[in-house]
Amino acid sequence: MITNWEKIRTDFPILKREINDQSLIYMDNAATTQKPRPVIDAICDFYENYNANVYRGVHTLSGEATTVYENSREKVADFIGAKEKEEVIFTKGTTNSLNYLAQMLSLEVKAGDEILLTYMEHHSNIIPWQQLAKRKKAKLIYVELTDEGKIDLSDYKNKLNKRTKIVSFTHVSNILGTINPVLEMTELAHEMNAIVIVDGAQAVPHFKVNVQELNVDFYAFSGHKMLGPTGIGVLYGKKKWLTSLEPAEFGGEMIELVKEQESTWANLPNKFEAGTPNISGAIGLAAAIDYLENIGMDNIKNYEEELFIYLYEKLININGLEIYGPDDLTAHSGVISFNLEGIHPHDLATALDLEGIAIRAGHHCGQLLMHKLNVVATSRISLYFYNTKEEVDQVIQTLEQTKEFFSA
Ligand code: 7TS
């Protein structure tokens, strides 16, 4: 178990960078995280020493690549508590997982069925369902949020009914930082026989997630938000679903037998992985999981909680700063959105960038939520375990200076 947080920073080459002559302070981790040396090395090692296509050859290199690719799947399955490694489908990322799923579920959805989402979803957990609903003449329904920025559970219960076919919601909001009660929501949805899909993009990197304990039907996340490379992600699905659903992409390695007019599908998980997969991506993701597990997910969670409380208590003391999201910090991740009175979020983010500080400004792919909050954009700080209290102090000081500059 590693607890020397300062030393951990030396594993991330990019953290030595200077931006505008200042040491980089990277607090845009909800967009993507930085990569530690072991992840970078694992990817190089694949290309330097055993690069080959998987499943296709009897030659040694292909055998080695296949073994490591499949070991990566097993590592992911263990990491999220899947029952079997066949329940882990490698995708390009959360967006791709959700789009693929919406295609796979096409045959399950009939006219008049209802698909239940919430107002805190990322666009990638809205548009695929919107398109599916259009195709199938199904109805999209949104669950309201409380004033505090949590899912309104009484509205959720009211909107769940026997016509609800699919319920899809985020585990953690990428804007409000709200951690949603997945198990409770899943149990309620299952009482109506709805299929439960959870977007775990902002959860898996930050605390232990166990898909079996949560009892969700599907769970999607991205490698690049958890130290892994871009272009790799996961769609977890319960075996009963993955066995019965049809694939939505077709081609090499996903077939069993090809005839002129029809074909049969390979076993899981290959059935859902047409074409050459992102082999180096899966290997990089496995290295990221090793890295996270070496620190310990509980350690990461505790450290981030402490750092977040430190940040939050300083932010609430800045006059004219409005925070969006729960003030119940037990239901809060290390993501926080805010606006400083009289300063456009883009101006604020630009001012911080001049001091080497990377935060995000904009609608964060959550236009429906922006509308609900009655704003066009917010500034957003999102932490990870390589951030420090000293960095938080620096950010707070720069926010104060920026506020003074704009009010002068
Ligand atoms: N779902 C959530 C909750 C997200 O935060 C994101 C990305 C996605 C899905 C899509 O993930 P992707 O890896 O497929 O792009 N969120 C953000 C963000 O907050 N800022 O940049 C990307």
pLDDT at residue 346, as a whole number: 97
Determine whether the shortest distance from the Cβ of 97 to ligand 1 is under 6 A.
no
List, for residues 27-38, the tens digit of each pLDDT value.
999 999 999 999
Q: How far is C-alpha 257 from the geometric centre of its chain's CA atoms? A: 35
What confidence tier does 407 reach under pLDDT thresholds 50, 70, 90? confident
Q: Exposure pattern of 233-272 as b/e (b: 16+ CB <10 Å)?
A: bbbbbbeebbeebebeeeeebbbeeeeeeeeebbebbbbb
* 365 carries an active-site annotation: yes
pLDDT at residue 2, as a whole number: 55
Determine whether the shortest distance from the Cβ of 180 to ligand 1 is under 6 A.
no
**Radius of gyration over every alpha carbon of the chain, rounded to an integer in angstroms:** 22
Determine whether the shortest distance from the Cβ of 122 to ligand 1 is under 6 A.
yes
pLDDT at residue 57, as a whole number: 78
pLDDT exceeds cutoff 80 at 3? no
* Selected catalytic residue, list 54, 102, 166, 365: 365
Closest approach atom of ligand 1 to CA 28: 20
List, for residues 316-329, the tens digit of each pLDDT value.
999 999 999 999 99
Determine whether the shortest distance from the Cβ of 94 to ligand 1 is under 6 A.
yes
Using an 8 Å Cβ cutoff, are 216 and 180 in contact?
A: no
Q: Mean pLDDT score of the chain, rounded to an integer? A: 97
pTM across the whole model: 0.98
Determine whether the shortest distance from the Cβ of 95 to ligand 1 is under 6 A.
yes
- Please name the residue whose Cα sits nearest to atom 20 of ligand 1: 31
**């995280």: which residue's tokens?**
33
Distance 237 CA to ligand 1 centre (A): 20
Closest approach atom of ligand 1 to CA 171: 3
List, for residues 220-238, the tens digit of each pLDDT value.
999 999 999 999 999 999 9
- Please name the residue whose Cα sits nearest to atom 7 of ligand 1: 31
List, for residues 97-119, the tens digit of each pLDDT value.
999 999 999 999 999 999 999 99
- 158, β-bridge pairs: none
- Please name the residue whose Cα sits nearest to atom 15 of ligand 1: 95
Using an 8 Å Cβ cutoff, are 51 and 61 in contact?
A: yes
pLDDT at residue 287, as a whole number: 98
